[in-house]
Amino acid sequence: MSYYGQTDFATRVSLGLIPGWASLNKFGQGPDCDNGIPTDLWDGADGTTSTDVWVAPTVARIHNIASTAAADDGDPVGTGMRTVRIYYLKDWDTAEASEDVILNGVGAVAMSNACVIIHRMKGLTFGSGGTNAGIITATAVTDATVTAAIQIGYGQTEMAIYGVPSTKKFALHSVYSHLHRTAASGTAIADGQVLVKENADQADSGFVVKNDFLVAHNLNFVKHYPVPPIYTGPCVIKLQATSDTNNATITGSFSGFLVDN
């Protein structure tokens, strides 16, 4: 039997050996979670870039990609990030697509396609600095929402948010979260939630709580689902936390399988 034939099911899915199945691991962090304020675990929640709670475009929008640093430039070449790949949904009924954008420093570069959600961006090429020098943002035209961001030096988004199209289902297998020690308190705690926006293609849809959890300083929360809950697209899955102290950094991730309908 070949090596691939001997691997466990999850690894075979990750290797693309199971037709109609794909693995998913989404991880993120809220860089600046403040006392009593619900904060999504995404890059925009840093106190300056965007909002604590991530906001999707109201309809499919073209997004402008820009940096806060001139060094993130692919033409002419800069020392920071030069090109970025963006993963998104054009609409709620088609599979994930991607698009590569050549950065122009602080100048905005429009994506070729409109999208209803961007759930990942990552750098493809870099200059001598080896990473992004500024914060890279994807801002929706017209409503001006920052849909995704890459923090300085991270090279890719850290957003525990994912949009599932109507062509797929998502089986949730595990959730992880950790609260990093803050200068204000070494005993901070936070309440966390797994939130799902069902029927994401409808204007009046909203997020509902699917799991509550607690995280504390230096105490990880880990949950594995023996019977994984199934969330049918179109939907958005995200992690959110509310700290009991200011300036906390909370990380989290969820993983599972995407399955064709």
Residues 6+ apart with CB under 8 A from 122: 84, 85, 150, 155, 156, 157
Residue 258: its pLDDT value, please? 97
pLDDT in tens, 90-120: 999 999 999 999 999 999 999 999 999 999 9
Residues 234-238: what's their mean pLDDT? 97
Residues 165, 256, single domain; the answer is: yes
d(Cα 194, Cα 210) in Å, to the nearest integer? 5
| Residue 40: other Cβ atoms inside 10 A | 26
pLDDT in tens, 180-215: 866 555 678 999 999 999 999 998 999 999 999 999
DSSP 165: P
Number of compact structural domains in the chain: 2
Residues 167, 252, single domain; the answer is: yes
**Which residue has 């693309």 as its token pair?**
16
In a domain, 230, yes or no: yes
Q: Which CATH number characterizes residue 180's domain?
A: 2.60.120
Residue 76: its pLDDT value, please? 86
Residue 12, SS3 per DSSP: helix
Residue 3: its pLDDT value, please? 47
Residues 72, 123, single domain; the answer is: yes
Burial of 237 (0-12, 13-18, 19+ CB in 10 A): buried
Buried b (16+ CB within 10 A) or exposed e, 103-114: bbbeeebebeeb
CA angle (123 as vertex; 120, 126 as ends), nearest 5: 170
In a domain, 57, yes or no: no
The pTM assigned to this predicted structure is: 0.93
Residues 256, 165, single domain; the answer is: yes
Residues 45, 173, single domain; the answer is: yes
* Residue 96: domain span: 63-150
Residues 202, 166, single domain; the answer is: yes
Torsion on CA atoms 208, 212, 216, 219, rounded to nearest 10: -120
In a domain, 58, yes or no: no
Residues 6+ apart with CB under 8 A from 41: 28, 29, 30, 158, 159, 160, 161, 177, 238, 239, 240, 241, 250, 251, 252
For residue 220, name the pLDDT band (cuts at 50, 70, 90). Answer: confident
Residue 184: its pLDDT value, please? 53
